[in-house]
Structure 1
Amino acid sequence: MYPFIRMALSMFKTRKLSPLDVFETHVSHHRCWPWDIDLWLELNNGRTLTIYDLGRIPLAHRIGLLDALRTQNWGLTMAGVSVRYRRRIRTFEKFEMRSRAVYWDAKFVYLEQTMWKQDGECANHALYRAAITDKTGIVTPQRVMKAMGIELENPVAPEWVRNWIDAEATRPWPPMQD
C-alpha cells in the first residue's frame, strides 16, 4: 500500500522549510519500517522506489513546482528510472535521503536521489526521468520553468546523465514480444 500517512507527515514537516532554488538539494530523514522490508529483513527494492516519493514530492513543493502544477492543472509522472543498489538498509535503520533536479531537456526533467546510511555510506542512487503533463501530453520543461518564475537556459547534462539518456534512446519501444 502507498505510504499516504508518511507522505502527509513529510509534507507537514516540509511546509515551513525555506524555498529552494531549482537545483538545490532537499534533505529528509526516514526509517525502514517492518512493512518496508523483504524476505531478507532489509528495505525492499520496490519499496525503495516508493519511499523516494517522500523526497521528490517535498522537493517539488520547495522549488515551487507543486504550485505551478495546481495553478496550471498539470500532472507529474515518472517516465523512467535507473537505480544502483550498493548497501542494505535493515529493519528500523534510519537513513537520510537527498533529492535534487540535475538537468532538463526538451521533454523531461532529470532528478537524482540518494539514500545514505548513518555511517555515511551511500545505500543506493537513483536517476529519474520525470514528465509534466496536461490534457494534450507532455508540457515542455521550459514552459514549466516559466510557470514557476524561473528564467534559466537548459543546463548542461552531467556526463553520466547524458550517457543514460543516450542508452535509453537505443532501447526498443514497445519491447519485443516472445
Structure 2
Amino acid sequence: MWWVAWVLAALVFLFSILDVWYFLRAGAVLLRAWFQPPVWDVTGEQVMTGRVTPRDIDMCHMNNARYLRECDFARFSLYMRNGVFKAARALRANLVVGATTIRYRRALCIGEGYDLCSRIVTWDDKAFFLEQRFVSTKDRLVCAVMYCKQSVIRSSPDKILQHLCKRKVEPPEFPEDLQHWVNFISASSQALRAESEMLLLVLSTLLLLFCNLDVWYFLRGAQVFIEAWFLPRIEDILAEQSIDGMVLPHDLDYLGHMNNSRYLRECDFARFHHYMRNGLFMASRKLGAKLVVGASTIRYRRSLAFREAFQIRTKVLGWDDKAFYLEQRFVSKRDGFVSAVMLCRQNVVGSSPESIMEFIYKKQIECPQFPEELKHWISFISASSQALRAESGLEDKNK
C-alpha cells in the first residue's frame, strides 16, 4: 500500500504546483485534431464545443481568465487542422500570443454549454489576427468575443501561408473594429518604447556614474551629514562619539573580510558625523577654513568578517598650531573587541585649531596633554617630513 501513498502524494504535489489539466487538455485537443479531417480553407471558421465546469467558475459563472484558457485550446485545434502548425514547425517558427482583447457580453453559468468559433481574420508581416467567439448553445447568443494577435517568431505569416498553399496568399482587409485595436497596440508599443528608452538612459547614466565615481561614498556622506544635522549638539568637543556600521559585500577583499582601505573610508564618515555634532564643521566654514587629512596611522588587531556589526568611536585627543589629532576605534558589537585603532591628523587650512576653538567657546581653550603613543607618532611625522624635505632639497632652499 505504500506505493499507492507515494503515487497519491506525487499526484498531489503535481496538481498543487502545476496546472496539470491544462497540459492534459492540450494533449487531448492536439490528438483529437490529428485524427480529424483537415480544413483546407485557412481562413475558414472552426468550432470546438465546451461546457462550464466547476473548475471554471468564480461567482457561479465562468471566470474571465478561463475564457482565454479555452481560447488556447481552440487555437491549438485550429492550427492543427488548417496546417498552420505543421507549416510553422517546418519553417522552425514559433507562434506566440502577442496581444488579446476580449469583450464579455453575458456570463456563461455553471453547466452551460457553448460553441467556441475560431477563425483567422487576416494577417500582417509579423502576426496572424484571430477572432474567437463563445456562442451559448442555450440561445445562440454570443456571450464573449475575443481578438488575438498571434505573433510569428523566426518567420512570417506570409512565409507560412506560402509554404502551406504553395503560392502567395493576399491577406484579407482588416475589419474596422480590428483596425482600431491594431492602432491601439501600435500606440501602446510606441509609448512603452519611449518609457524603455528613458529607462535605458537612466540605467546607462547610473552605470556611467558608478563606473567613474564612488557613488556610494557621496550618498553615505550625505546621509551621515543629514542624520547628524538633526541630532542634538554635543557641547564637549573632547567627548567621544560613535556611529554604527556593518561589513557589507562591497567592503570585502579576496580573503572575505573587510579590506584594509575600507577602514579609512568608514573613518571619514565617522569624522563627518563627529564634526557636525561638536560644531567643528560649522565653525571652520564660518572662518573660511578647511579640514583636510594630513596623516593617518592604523593598527589592525582582528579582522571584521562579512556582516559583522561594529561601532566607530571617535574623539579629539588634542591639537597644535596646525592640526587636530583624533583617535578612531573599530569596536566589534559581537564581543566589544577593539578590532582596529586609527590616529588621524586633521590639518586646518585657512585658519588654525586655536581660532576654531575660540570661535566655538568664545574663549581660549587649553589643549589637553597628548598621550604617549600620539607623541611618538607626531615625532615620526616630523622626522618623515624632514627626511622628505631633505630629499627634495627644500631645506637647502630655505637656508
Between structure 1 and structure 2, the one with the greater Rg is: 2
* Equivalent in 198, 217, 224 of residue 3 of structure 1: 217
- TM-superposed deviation, 1:173: 1.8
AA of the residue aligned to 1:147: F
More strand by share: 1
For 1:166 and 1:112, how far apart are their aligned partners in 2? 17
CA RMSD of aligned residues (A): 1.7
- TM-superposed deviation, 1:23: 0.3
For 2:280 and 2:254, how far apart are their aligned partners in 1? 37
**Which residue number in structure 2 is paired with residue 156 of structure 1?**
369
AA of the residue aligned to 2:378: I
* Equivalent in 244, 261, 282 of residue 67 of structure 1: 282
- TM-superposed deviation, 1:107: 1.3
* Equivalent in 379, 383, 396 of residue 166 of structure 1: 379
Counting matched residue pairs gives 173
**Which residue number in structure 1 is paired with residue 229 of structure 2?**
15
Higher RCO, 1 or 2 (CA under 8 Å, sep at least 6)? 1
More helix by share: 2
**Which residue number in structure 2 is paired with residue 48 of structure 1?**
263
In the superposition, the TM-score normalised over structure 2's length comes to: 0.41
Three-state SS of the structure 1 residue aligned to 2:361 is coil
CA 175–39 in structure 1, closer or farther in 2 if over 3 Å, else same? farther
CA 88–175 in structure 1, closer or farther in 2 if over 3 Å, else same? farther
Three-state SS of the structure 1 residue aligned to 2:369 is coil
* Structure 1: unaligned runs, 5 residues or longer: none
For 1:45 and 1:29, how far apart are their aligned partners in 2? 18
In the superposition, the TM-score normalised over structure 1's length comes to: 0.90
Q: Would the aligned equivalents of 2:297 and 2:344 in 1 still touch at CA under 8 Å?
A: yes
**Which residue number in structure 2 is paired with residue 140 of structure 1?**
352
Deviations 1:36-88 (A, max 9, x none): 11111111111110110111011001110111122122211000011000111
AA of the residue aligned to 2:221: M
* Structure 2: unaligned runs, 5 residues or longer: 1-213, 393-399
Output aligned runs, 1:59-98, within 5 Å: 59-98=274-313
Q: Would the aligned equivalents of 2:287 and 2:356 in 1 still touch at CA under 8 Å?
A: no
AA of the residue aligned to 2:380: A
Deviations 1:74-108 (A, max 9, x none): 21100001100011111221111101100111211
| Percent identity over paired residues | 27
Three-state SS of the structure 2 residue aligned to 1:115 is strand
2:129 matched to 1:129? no
